[in-house]
Amino acid sequence: MDNYIVSARKYRPSTFHSVVGQKSLTTTLKNAIANHKLAHAYLFCGPRGVGKTSCARIFAKTINCLTPTPDGEACNECESCQAFNEQRSYNIHELDAASNNSVDDIRSLIDQVRIPPALGKYKVFIIDEVHMLSSQAFNAFLKTLEEPPHHALFILATTEKHKVLPTILSRCQIYDFSRISIADMVEHLEYVSSQEGVTAEPEALNVIAQKADGGMRDALSIFDQVVSFTNGNITYQAVIDNLNVLDYEYYFRLTDAMLSSDVRSAVLILNEILSKGFDGQNVITGLASHFRDLLVCKDAATLVLFEVGASIRERYKETAKHCSDPFLFKAIELTNGCDLNYRISRNKRLLMELTLIQLCQINQPQSEDSKKKLLIEPVSESSPVASTASAASTVPSPQVDQVPPKKKVSQMPISTSIKKAIEKEPEKQIQHTSTANDESVDFEQSELTGCWNEYAQKIEKNAYLKGAMINCKPVLLENYNFEVAVHNPGQQEELLNDSINLLPFLRANLKNSHIQMRIRITETNEKKLAYTSTEKYEHLININPVLDKLRDEFNLTLD
């Protein structure tokens, strides 16, 4: 028990070759060492557990190695390498900036920089979590970082590069460490398993790698946890039980229910999942990733984006054959929308169930009636006015007291809102036939304005409409049409909504059934430009033509 070392420490890389998933960076560092082109300051940045500090230590050991190998690695045999391996080297200094972030700590480090190395060529100062330094400490460090002694080399490591001062970044060579791929982590976990005498299923290691989210240190920590749980026999089922990971089987069962439009089965499967204690949002995000994986494995070109075990990969390929691209596109859209709305939803379970219902309806065949656009049918000549009551809640039909029941209503799509109609058509023609008597008595502008004002004065509940009618007067046009110029879309919408009552009133009072109204939004803020010299001159000539003769006689010109 006393000699036990966790895998993250036991299998920590000691050479560039043993660093997992950062081949391009390690190759660059090895070439720099081989060509003797070392910078005085480096910044290693990236997510946690991807090898930043490990690479810094390997780099420090290698540049001080007395007999490096031909491939650019440390020999691990010379006095400098042995001192480093035994943690007694005076050439390498590590500072944890998370707990040593004051100006005094940096000044103490600067004092050590001046002392040359007793053995080897360089003194290397590794500052971990450098973004935790205070602003005063950063400023105290600037001059030394820019012009250090020839024997000093700095390696700064951080997980949050954006918090490092730009003046520090400009003085360093920056190396961005990437997240380790699932394939590389699985390969390394297989190596660790073989060294530890542990049997592990590839699917189980794949789940561990996915849970680690790109960090090898996290993967090794999870690996140790699962080894303790399984007593050295790591199976897929044991991993998902121990890590509380949702089994792929649930996603496949949900997909089958959706493809067969079985809403009840989908809801029951969701209930089974939630009863096991899984978080609802994790279920939705996992389902979205499941549909994404089905999509990428449908094409050989995108198969490289698919990172699962071999046996589950075949299951995905088989299921993907039954899923059409439109189905997967819509499914990803719905699950992503549910994920975005999950936190703000008050009834989260109902939101998930509604999403499952929508997913189950994607493949349902639509009837011809549902495909047709729903329209308000015109009232027949023989039907009474009351027959239009069912449609009145959506687009009310014009009604006027003591008007015969025979009338015609123009067809208007229910799905098109008045607001959208206004946005698309700044000029709106309103046509309502409100009487069966074909009257066409002539009327004047004054009579139209009088009826308009009379109707406006009777308005009691809608002050906005009343104000619009008082400020915007009708202008009589040809063929009993008139135009109303309003100032904004709000006034246009109010008149449009009330036209179903206004037009019958005007037609009845003016005794003309052919009256039509057009609503137009006018420009109220037209740009006024100053008159030019030529325009002023032309205006004066119109007033007094003699000026033009005077200009010709004296041969005058305009500036």
Rounded-to-integer distance, Cα 168 and Cα 463, Å: 64
Rounded-to-integer distance, Cα 523 and Cα 144, Å: 66
CATH code of residue 284: 1.20.272.10
Q: Within this chain, do residues 482 and 412 fall inside the same structural domain, yes or no?
A: yes
The answer on pLDDT for 105 being more than 80 is yes
Among 46-50, 149-153, 173-177, 398-402, which is the least confidently predicted range? Answer: 398-402
Q: Within this chain, do residues 169 and 70 fall inside the same structural domain, yes or no?
A: yes
Domain boundary among 176, 208, 235: 176
The answer on pLDDT for 458 being more than 60 is yes
Domain boundary among 176, 209, 228: 176
E-strand spans in 63-151? 92-96, 123-128
Among 3-17, 110-124, 273-287, 411-425, which is the least confidently predicted range? Answer: 411-425
Residue 323's identity, in one-letter code, is C
Q: What is the mean pLDDT of residues 16-28?
A: 88
Q: Report the candidate in 398, 382, 376 with the shortest Cα–Cα distance to residue 513.
A: 398
268: phi then psi, degrees, rounded to nearest 5: -65, -40
Confidence of residue 45 (pLDDT cuts 50, 70, 90): very high
The answer on pLDDT for 534 being more than 60 is yes
Angle at 166 between CA 160 and CA 169, to 5 degrees: 70
Q: Within this chain, do residues 144 and 110 fall inside the same structural domain, yes or no?
A: yes
Q: Within this chain, do residues 345 and 405 fall inside the same structural domain, yes or no?
A: no
Rounded-to-integer distance, Cα 53 and Cα 30, Å: 16
Mean pLDDT of the chain: 80
Half-sphere exposure of 544 (CA within 13 A, CB side): 8
Q: Which residue has the higher pLDDT, 240 or 403?
A: 240
The pLDDT score that the predictor gives to residue 401 is 41
Q: Do residues 547 and 541 lie in contact, with contact meaning Cβ atoms separated by under 8 Å?
A: yes
Confidence of residue 531 (pLDDT cuts 50, 70, 90): low
What burial class does residue 158 get, using C-beta atoms within 10 Å of its C-beta: 0-12 exposed, 13-18 middle, 19+ buried?
buried
Rounded-to-integer distance, Cα 497 and Cα 499, Å: 6
Among 92-101, 336-345, 379-388, which is the least confidently predicted range? Answer: 379-388
Q: Within this chain, do residues 162 and 28 fall inside the same structural domain, yes or no?
A: yes
User: 374 in a domain, yes or no?
Assistant: no
What burial class does residue 504 get, using C-beta atoms within 10 Å of its C-beta: 0-12 exposed, 13-18 middle, 19+ buried?
buried
User: 378 in a domain, yes or no?
Assistant: no
Q: Quick count: other Cβ atoms within 10 Å of Cβ 498?
A: 18
The DSSP-derived string for 455-506 is HHHH--S-HHHHHHHHHS-EEE-STTEEEEEESSHHHHHHHHHHHHHHHHHH
The pLDDT score that the predictor gives to residue 382 is 39
The answer on pLDDT for 311 being more than 80 is no
The pLDDT score that the predictor gives to residue 359 is 92
Rounded to a whole number of angstroms, the distance between the first and last alpha carbons of the chain is 102
Among 59-73, 335-349, 374-388, which is the least confidently predicted range? Answer: 374-388
Q: What is the mean pLDDT of residues 39-50?
A: 90
| % of the chain beyond a pLDDT of 70 | 84
CA 539 to chain centre: 60
The answer on pLDDT for 150 being more than 50 is yes
Q: What is the mean pLDDT of residues 173-193?
A: 89
The pLDDT score that the predictor gives to residue 366 is 59
Q: List the beta bridge partners of residue 484.
A: 474, 519
Rounded-to-integer distance, Cα 384 and Cα 376, Å: 15
Residue 111's identity, in one-letter code, is D
User: 388 in a domain, yes or no?
Assistant: no
In eight-state DSSP terms, residue 514 is: T
The pLDDT score that the predictor gives to residue 265 is 92
The pLDDT score that the predictor gives to residue 523 is 62
**pLDDT, tens only, 367-404:** 555 444 433 344 444 333 333 333 333 333 334 344 44
Q: Do residues 258 and 322 lie in contact, with contact meaning Cβ atoms separated by under 8 Å?
A: no
The answer on pLDDT for 93 being more than 70 is yes
Q: Do residues 17 and 73 lie in contact, with contact meaning Cβ atoms separated by under 8 Å?
A: yes
In eight-state DSSP terms, residue 241 is: H
Q: Which residue has the higher pLDDT, 557 or 495?
A: 495
Confidence of residue 271 (pLDDT cuts 50, 70, 90): very high
Q: Within this chain, do residues 13 and 126 fall inside the same structural domain, yes or no?
A: yes
Q: Which helix (H) or strand (E) holds 56?
A: helix 52-63
User: 371 in a domain, yes or no?
Assistant: no
pTM: 0.57
Q: What is the mean pLDDT of residues 499-515?
A: 87
Q: List the beta bridge partners of residue 127.
A: 95, 156
Highest mean pLDDT: which range of 93-107, 251-265, 436-450, 538-552? 251-265
Confidence of residue 550 (pLDDT cuts 50, 70, 90): confident
Q: Within this chain, do residues 201 and 114 fall inside the same structural domain, yes or no?
A: no
Total count of domains within the chain: 5
E-strand spans in 364-437? 427-430
Rounded-to-integer distance, Cα 259 and Cα 265, Å: 11
Strand pairing class (41-45; 233-234)? unpaired
User: 387 in a domain, yes or no?
Assistant: no
Q: Which helix (H) or strand (E) holds 142?
A: helix 135-146
Domain that holds residue 559: 529-559
Confidence of residue 330 (pLDDT cuts 50, 70, 90): very high
Q: Which residue has the higher pLDDT, 182 or 430?
A: 182
Q: Do residues 97 and 67 lie in contact, with contact meaning Cβ atoms separated by under 8 Å?
A: no
Rounded-to-integer distance, Cα 510 and Cα 469, Å: 18
The pLDDT score that the predictor gives to residue 264 is 93
Strand pairing class (474-476; 199-200)? unpaired
User: 500 in a domain, yes or no?
Assistant: yes
Q: Within this chain, do residues 430 and 354 fall inside the same structural domain, yes or no?
A: no
Q: Within this chain, do residues 350 and 435 fall inside the same structural domain, yes or no?
A: no
User: 372 in a domain, yes or no?
Assistant: no
Q: Within this chain, do residues 306 and 453 fall inside the same structural domain, yes or no?
A: no
